[in-house]
Every structure is written in structure tokens, then in C-alpha cells.
Amino acid sequence: MKKTVQEVMTTQPATVTLQDNIYEAAVKMRDHDTGFIPVVDFSDGHTLIGVVTDRDLVVRGYAEKHSGSTSIENVMTTGIRCATQYMEVDEAAELMAEQQIRRLPVTDGDKLIGVVSLGDLAVRNIFADNAGDALSDISEQHRVH
């Protein structure tokens, strides 16, 4: 029987809202030892709005001379396809490879319920070939661009 995303995902990940600024996102990344934080709307039950990566902070934030008080909305990434808790882990790895990302929000409808990463797949030795292939695809595409 194949493993599902729910079995390997991180539940209750650190999050930010549109009321947070890029400095606050950077501090949360440091404090939670992550380079990826979902942006949610708490007013309607953790609806996923987008994500912020450490790369977003650097490229869209600081490199464009935005101050730490700049709104998350100015640097966040939207339109990422998400995993569901019942998706098989190899499907999640394929989604990551297609989108050239290493982390994937997990949603139930629009509500954020977790995050799954290639590291989650690799550390748990689940579908190591798929996780390795996904990472290889992502790394190869980054070298080409």
C-alpha cells in the first residue's frame, strides 16, 4: 500500500498573514529553521493565499531595495498547486518537480493543513527514487536558466 502525504507532512507549519511584513517573515524563517512559509488568512480559517520563500525575500524584497516593513503581499508567490492529505507521496513529488519547488503546501479545500517537502520524503526513505528524481529535475532546470 502506498503512503499518503498525510503520513509524512509537517502539520501546523509556521505561517504569516498579509498583515505581516518581510522582516517578520524572515524572523519566522530563522526561528523555525525553514526557507518556506505559507501565507494564510486567519479570519476565515487558515485559507492559503500564497507562500513566501527565502528566495522571494531576497529577490523580490531586499534586492529591489524594499525595507523590512514591506508587506508580505509584495513578495509572496501565488498560484502554487497544492497537495491534498490523501495524495500519494509519489504524486506530490511529481507536483514538486513540475513546479520546480522543494516544498508543497497541503490543503483541505482552501484550508492549509500542512507542508510536505522533498526532505520529508527523503528522511523517511519513502519513494526515494521519486524524491531523488524530483530534486534532480528541479536542480537541472535551475542550472539551465
- Interval 60-75: pLDDT, tens: 998 888 888 999 999 9
Backbone angles phi and psi of 46, in degrees to 5? 65, 35
Q: How do 47-53 and 36-41 pair as beta strands?
A: antiparallel
Contact 18, 72 (CB under 8 A): yes
Choices 3.30.70.1140, 3.40.640.10, 3.40.50.300, 3.10.580.10: CATH for 5-144: 3.10.580.10
User: pLDDT tens, 89-125?
Assistant: 989 999 998 988 899 999 999 999 999 998 887 765 5
